[in-house]
């Protein structure tokens, strides 16, 4: 298996994570009971922030949508890095390592504050990034092997 394949898998997993986060987290319905009461309290209590009236619901909703946007951008980036990995995956290792650490930390954060769905997704994405790093190979250009005669 190659770095390209692992990056493509990471891209698909990240996009699925973005879609499910958007459907369930950003635009999902809140059931009746204490959750609905909490959401209502977040919506009705507004305050002035830098000249704009906002509520905690505005921040919650906006940050949730921001995460969906970031996840979608990362999915596209992983797909693009998969294309770059075809020619020289070794040079991508520092970038992939950065995302690997970030997704590992996201998984810890999700475990502490959310539930197992995102933990599983983020762990799988981190694993794909780790495997992309482990299978990274440098493809030497054709001219490097040619002897130079003077």
C-alpha distances (whole Å) from 3 to each of 10, 82, 90, 140 are 10, 7, 9, 16
pLDDT at 25 over 90: no
pLDDT at 54 over 90: yes
pTM, two decimals, is 0.86
Mean pLDDT, the chain, whole residue set = 92
Mean pLDDT of 21-28: 92
Is the CB of residue 13 less than 8 Å from the CB of residue 118?
no
What's the pLDDT score for residue 96? 97
């Amino acid at each position: 298996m190659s770095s390209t394949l692992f990056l493509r898998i990471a891209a698909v997993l990240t996009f699925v994570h973005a879609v499910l986060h958007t459907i369930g987290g950003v635009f999902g319905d809140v059931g009746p009971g204490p959750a609905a009461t909490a959401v209502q309290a977040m919506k009705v209590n507004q305050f002035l922030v830098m000249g704009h009236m906002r509520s905690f619901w505005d921040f919650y909703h906006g940050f949730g949508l921001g995460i969906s946007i970031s996840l979608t951008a990362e999915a596209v980036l992983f797909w693009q890095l998969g294309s770059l990995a075809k020619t020289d995956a070794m040079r991508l290792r520092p970038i992939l390592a950065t995302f690997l650490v970030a997704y590992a930390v996201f998984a810890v954060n999700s475990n502490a504050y959310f539930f197992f769905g995102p933990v599983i997704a983020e762990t799988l994405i981190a694993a794909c990034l780790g495997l992309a790093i482990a299978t990274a190979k440098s493809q030497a250009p054709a001219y490097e092997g040619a002897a130079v005669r003077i």
